[in-house]
Structure 1
């Protein structure tokens, strides 16, 4: 079996390890960064591509290498690539799986500090209007910073990002001081989040609804303990996805693979 996997997430490395352990499989993983590609290689991916790909490039790679299955395990907020991957699979009439981490279960968690918004632009406006004191912890990636600093002074802005060239360049372009950059190497623990809130005198934290694997619960609990607000961006609804294309865990992934 030959699999092309759109990755760059913890989900994707878990899938690589699972497939290599349980199937006779060749895996090509595409990521947007060298860091993501290195993690994919460490998980067992046979080959990697470490740059963003256009739709035509993905189609050419699939055709030239005769891949059997396309698996999209990109981030829940990578709306464009998920729409693209679904359309590619339809166009090529090939088996397609969207691996989508479940929505965070907040049933037993105090959610009183959470403010839900639909976009980062809305998050920036909310901070500008209601959180005028204290600093802002941005736990939502480098690509979303610009929508916040349109409304929030960079003097108050502290992003937690991967210290890779593209992200550092975005910080420089936006005027974010190097001393404000918090290096990211994975999901933070409850204690680490508390330390960051205290260290940077934060009054508000921005995060995506990225699921338990993205450390959302630990962020909320830290905010609750320190009595600060969490602005949570809700997941986008991905068009073109069919319900039976989506799996939420490795058992469902196995079931789907065996159905092809």
Structure 2
């Protein structure tokens, strides 16, 4: 049943994601073509015009990426609130499936689409860079390969794990705020926003105290003399991993407790 819930969630939301992501990819091709013409220096374009075009292009591309992430943000919040605590909740909670399956289907669907948006941003940026680089005779992917070699496989893997955990905890923070806001009789949405802001600020401040990167060990000399970032031995993601897991577990069970014992659909 969990698989069917996941399939339904992905199918119900896929249209909007594919439309916005497709628009971003088309936009990236368009931006790359225009950018290549500007960078190579068409004779009829003045320097001031080039600067203006570059600024406009950057703004449009940035707006497209923001639109993609905002779309994801609003969809995962809206579907969770409507399906769990809204009128659609009457149908959701009559399904012959446990509350864990319902909540996990929502969480993992949001997780998948958030990763999808992140990969779309990377792909769009790569397309723009590749088109502009090709127009200048530069192989952008060789440069990226060199950068990844310098970062080192260990750092990249640790960063990916860290990103996955922070993405999951970020989704749960949103859902936890919605669940806690549901405990109030009136102004539930407003209270959810207030609680979400308080949680975000409080957890961010605590996170700043974690020794994730030892900046004292970082210097220009070491950067220039080391073959990879791993050689610097400055990155320690373990405290960050523990902190994210410590956040994830209580937030999930807070959501579970509210939906199981304090659910009051209106």
Query: What is the TM-score normalised by the length of structure 1?
Result: 0.24
Higher helix share: 2
Q: Which has the larger radius of gyration?
A: 2
Higher strand share: 1
Query: What is the TM-score normalised by the length of structure 2?
Result: 0.23
